[in-house]
Amino acid sequence: MKDDIKLTKLASCAGCGAKVGAGTLAQLLQDLPVHQDERLLVGFDKSDDASVYKINDTTAIIQTVDFFPPIVDDPRLFGQIAACNAISDVYAMGGEPRLALNVMTVSPELPKDAVHEILRGGYEKAYEANVIITGGHTIQDTEPKYGLSVTGFVHPDKILKNSSAREGDVLILTKPLGIGILTTAAKAGMVSDEVKTRIYAQMAQLNKTARDIMVKYEIHSCTDVTGFSLLGHGYEMAHGSGCTIYLNTSSIPYHPEALEMASMGMIPAGAYRNRDFAESHIQWNSKKNLPLEDILFDPQTSGGLLISVSEEDAQNLLHELQDHMDGVAEIGYVTGQKDASIILI
**In this structure, what is the dihedral angle of CA atoms 252, 254, 260, 264, given to the nearest 10 degrees?**
-90
Q: Cα separation of 90 and 160, whole Å?
A: 10
Query: By the 8 A CB rule, do 265 and 199 touch?
Result: no
Q: Are 92 and 47 spatial neighbours (Cβ–Cβ below 8 Å)?
A: no
Report the distance separating Cα 206 and Cα 305, nearest Å. Answer: 11
**Per the residue annotation, which of 16, 84, 222, 243 is the catalytic one?**
16
CA distances from residue 245 to 32, 50, 237 in whole angstroms, order as listed:
30, 22, 8
Pairing of strands 145-154, 60-68: antiparallel
CA distances from 315 to 214, 230, 304, 309 (A): 12, 21, 18, 10
Q: Are 208 and 129 in contact (CB under 8 A)?
A: yes
At 82, is the secondary structure helix, strand, or coil?
Answer: helix
Asked if 106 contacts 138 with a C-beta cutoff of 8 angstroms, the reply is yes
User: How many angstroms separate the Cα of 271 from the Cα of each of 16, 252, 263?
Assistant: 11, 17, 14
Active site residue 16: yes
Q: Which residues are catalytic?
A: 16
